[in-house]
Amino acid sequence: MKKVLTFMVPLSGVVILLFSGWVAPGFGQAIAPAGPIKIGCLLSFTGALLHDGPQVRAGIQLALEHYGSEVAGRKIELVIEDDGTDPSTALDKARKIVERDNVRIVIGPQASHVAQAVQPYLTERKVICMKSRQFPIPLTAKFPYLFVVDGTYKQTTSKMGDYAYNVLGYRKVSTMTADYVAGREFMGGFTERFVELGGKVVQEQFYPVGSMDYSNYLANVNVKEADCVAAWTVGTGGPRFAKQYAEYGLRQKIPLITPFISGILNEDTLPQIGDIILGVPGPSSYASTIDNTLNKRVVADYRRKHGVRPTDNGVMGGYVNMQVVMEALKATKGDTDPGKIKEAILKLNLETPAGPVRFSPERIGILNIHICKVAKEGSDYFWQVVQTYKETMPR
Amino acid sequence: MERMLLNLLNGVSFGALLFLLASGLSLVLGLMGILNLAHGALFLFGAYVGISVTQNGGHFILAGLVGGAAGAAIGLAMERGFLRHLHGRILEQVLISFGFIYVLTNVASWIWGTVTQIVDAPISGAIVLGDLFFPKYRLGLIAIGLVIALGLYLFDKTRVGAMVRAGMDNAEMAGALGVNVKFISSMVFCLGAFIAGFAGIIGVPIFGAYPEIALDALNLALIVVVVGGTGSIPGALIASLLLGVLDSFGKALLPGIASYTIYIALIIILVFRPSGIMGRSA
């Protein structure tokens, strides 16, 4: 009897381990094909992009509410992890969600350097990945299971080139932006298109990421030659930049535009800045004032839940990515095979709160870009859509 | 020409803020030999407390005083509770004060959240130099920096100031001569902490308040203290102005290395004067 017992305990242990997927990761999944589908979310709750994580999560959860948390009889479960806006943390978390939680589809990360760190691993494991926000063409091409619904940096910002040259009539621009990949790409997309159309860049300034004080750069703007200033900064710098722009008297002397209205003039910081920023234009793939039925519903539901308008991070990073995932799973009838999901996504033609969205063969979104101006109604500040460029292509 | 003047003024106003930030650190390091890395956290707390005061209707000057008091209170608690017992033990001081930075930063995030906060300067508007504008508030900063520098200079000339200097030179001797070195040390620590907290809220209209500012401020303060010479207030003043102006012109003339101009200046100055501009060689 004793001999049998000493046998049974480790044997049961091994059996349990096998079934739990610890020993053979794929094994547990193969045993239970009708189980829940786990969607991994690598979002930033700490680190440089800590404000964006909660917004993206809110968007994902709202989409799940709207779709119902089930596809083809399988429950959808979210596995949400903090990537810390840090490449090595993100890689650890990616390994955790793929190997321990059996995630087959990931939404995120958002920061480009963080995404670059996890892509080789996710691609090797054939995990479908929906990047949160933009990513450039050459990088997306390297990873065959990566989808970028929000397009490329230059795709959005080049439309400001069109708007600034054709609609606003500017010909000479002085630029200033944060000195890192995103900062240079956003500004680069705008200046390339502006110059293509015949405009001229008379001055370029770059400030270190996390600059606390823009006074030096503002003081050096070449007001004599330029007819507008194009500026971009991220997160905490936005309100400071706007205030210093007014303090240094530039507001009266030369108009301000942005190559990307998100980051520098986020809606939640607009009340802090106040009326001095009204009318400043910039492009975005999403604004709460986009006029379609689905968006009206999303804005109403989001406001009811969170008390504020949905942001572009919440919708483009969260809601629309989740839409793509749900629609793809519906098309494959709940089959999470990466090849089938990929095929399904490439065939999608979606109506989203941001307008119609589909994917190019390079797995990058073809979507509308909206030029917005900062506006207010009562004490409610928001981005007002003034012009829409339809079906923009990746560039 | 006017742009050069603007850069100069920007540099001097930044230097004034650096001085406020660094003078406390230099004083404490020189007198007590304590390297209080949590100095940046005192700056942070002063900023946040000051913001709360203004948000509740308090005048900016009151916010400055309360911010300073908050810095002094926390500083006193740190000194009495922890640093006092670690005389001469540099490694432990570094560890514990660094730990304080993390604790205080997290407490601040817990109370005030992580979103950057700014308040408007109490004086708005700018003075006009031909084509260019210079904000009045930044002029005010320069004035405040000068006032504090003058105050510290005059303090040094008083009897208490002499006791402080005696304590800096030779604590045992001073104690033997009847100077209550321990009490003086605590007082100086509090003064340094008060100035740091005050500098925190004063700097908010320009830099805002955010959790990482404890480390950013500490970084700058350390550079100033090293360049100026530890324990030297005139050194801290010269170093702050020098670094502020170099940073400003560096950003204007050499934008490619804008982030590094302060460090390059640090290296060059240390090569020629390893103890800092007015430091005393060991």
Domain count, chain A: 2
Other beta carbons less than 10 A from residue B200's beta carbon: 33
Question: In the predicted model, is pLDDT for residue A27 greater than 80?
Answer: no
Is there a domain that residue A1 lies in? no
Write out the H or E segment, with its range, that includes residue B204: helix B181-207
Give residues with Cβ within 8 angstroms of A173, minimum separation 6: A164, A191, A194, A199, A200, A201, A202, A226, A227, A228, A229, A230
* Pair (A384, A331) in one structural domain: no
* Pair (A326, A343) in one structural domain: yes
How confident is residue A244, by pLDDT bands cut at 50, 70 and 90?
confident
* Pair (A121, A184) in one structural domain: no
Is there a domain that residue A323 lies in? yes
**Mean pLDDT confidence for A30-37:** 67
Residue of B nearest to A205 (CA): B255
Question: In the predicted model, is pLDDT for residue A194 greater than 50?
Answer: yes
Q: Do residues A350 and A323 make contact, with C-beta atoms less than 8 angstroms apart?
A: yes
3-state secondary structure of B133: strand
**Mean pLDDT confidence for A25-48:** 74
Instruction: Report the percent of chain A where pLDDT is more than 70.
Output: 91
Which residues of B fall below an 8 Å CB-CB distance to A? Answer: 3, 6-7, 10, 14, 114-116, 118, 120, 124, 126, 128, 131-135, 137-138, 206-208, 210, 212, 216, 247-248, 251-252, 255-256, 258-259
Distance CA(A246)–CA(A260), nearest Å, equals: 20
| Cβ separation A51–B115 shorter than 8 A | yes
* Pair (A234, A337) in one structural domain: no
Q: Can you give the residue range of the structural domain that contains A304? A: 31-151+294-363
Q: Which residues pair with A230 in a beta bridge?
A: A175, A257
| Cβ separation A219–B132 shorter than 8 A | yes
Q: Which of A33-37, A61-65, A104-108, A387-391 has the lowest mean pLDDT?
A: A33-37
* Pair (A187, A133) in one structural domain: no
Question: In the predicted model, is pLDDT for residue A183 greater than 70?
Answer: yes
Question: In the predicted model, is pLDDT for residue A65 greater than 90?
Answer: yes
Question: In the predicted model, is pLDDT for residue A251 greater than 90?
Answer: no
Rounded to a whole number, what is the distance in Å from the CA of B44 to chain A's nearest CA? 14
Distance CA(A107)–CA(A136), nearest Å, equals: 17
Rounded to a whole number, what is the distance in Å from the CA of A47 to chain B's nearest CA? 10
Contact list in A for residue B10 (CB cut-off 8 A) is: 215-216, 219
- The CATH number for A217's domain is 3.40.50.2300
* Pair (A180, A268) in one structural domain: yes
| Cβ separation A206–B255 shorter than 8 A | yes
Q: What's the sign of the alpha-carbon dihedral A84, A85, A88, A90?
A: positive
Is there a domain that residue A359 lies in? yes
Domain range list for chain B: 21-211
Determine which of B133, B139, B202, B213 to mutate to test the interface with A (most A C-beta atoms within 10 Å).
B133
Question: In the predicted model, is pLDDT for residue A48 greater than 90?
Answer: no
Short-list B254, B272, B167, B87, CA closest to A207: B254
Q: Would the pTM count as exceeding 0.95?
A: no
Contact list in A for residue B247 (CB cut-off 8 A) is: 216
Contact list in B for residue A220 (CB cut-off 8 A) is: 3, 7, 251-252
* Pair (A377, A245) in one structural domain: yes
Residue pLDDT, tens place only, A265-300: 998 888 888 898 999 999 999 999 999 999 999 999
Question: In the predicted model, is pLDDT for residue A234 greater than 50?
Answer: yes
Distance CA(B213)–CA(A157), nearest Å, equals: 31
What per-residue confidence (pLDDT) applies to A7? 64
Contact list in B for residue A268 (CB cut-off 8 A) is: 115
Q: Which residues pair with A147 in a beta bridge?
A: A130
Question: In the predicted model, is pLDDT for residue A324 greater than 90?
Answer: yes
Q: Give the side-chain half-sphere CA count within 13 A for A256.
A: 29
How confident is residue A31, by pLDDT bands cut at 50, 70 and 90?
very low
* Pair (A136, A172) in one structural domain: no
Mean pLDDT per block of 10 residues along chain B (282 residues) reads 84 93 85 82 94 90 93 91 79 89 92 80 79 85 92 84 79 84 85 93 87 89 90 88 89 77 87 82 52
Residue of B nearest to A209 (CA): B259
**Mean pLDDT confidence for A6-29:** 56
* Pair (A211, A246) in one structural domain: yes
Is there a domain that residue A19 lies in? no
Rounded to a whole number, what is the distance in Å from the CA of B117 to chain A's nearest CA? 8
**Mean pLDDT confidence for A352-363:** 96
Residue pLDDT, tens place only, A131-177: 999 999 999 999 999 999 999 999 999 999 999 999 999 999 999 99
How confident is residue A9, by pLDDT bands cut at 50, 70 and 90?
low
* Pair (A180, A118) in one structural domain: no
* Pair (A39, A137) in one structural domain: yes
Rounded to a whole number, what is the distance in Å from the CA of B29 to chain A's nearest CA? 27
What per-residue confidence (pLDDT) applies to A24? 47
What per-residue confidence (pLDDT) applies to A243? 85
Q: B149-174: b or e for each residue (b if 16 or more CB lie within 10 Å)?
A: beebeeeeeeeeeebbebbbeebeeb
What per-residue confidence (pLDDT) applies to A67? 93
Contact list in A for residue B252 (CB cut-off 8 A) is: 216, 219-220
* Pair (A132, A179) in one structural domain: no
Q: Give the side-chain half-sphere CA count within 13 A for A181.
A: 12
What per-residue confidence (pLDDT) applies to B282? 47
How confident is residue A10, by pLDDT bands cut at 50, 70 and 90?
low
Identify the burial level of A361 via C-beta atoms within 10 angstroms of its C-beta, where 0-12 means exposed, 13-18 middle and 19 or more buried.
exposed
Q: How far is CA A254 from the centre of its chain?
A: 31
What angle separates helix B261-272 from helix B233-253, to the nearest 10 degrees?
A: 130
| Cβ separation B135–A217 shorter than 8 A | no
Is there a domain that residue A132 lies in? yes
| Cβ separation B252–A215 shorter than 8 A | no
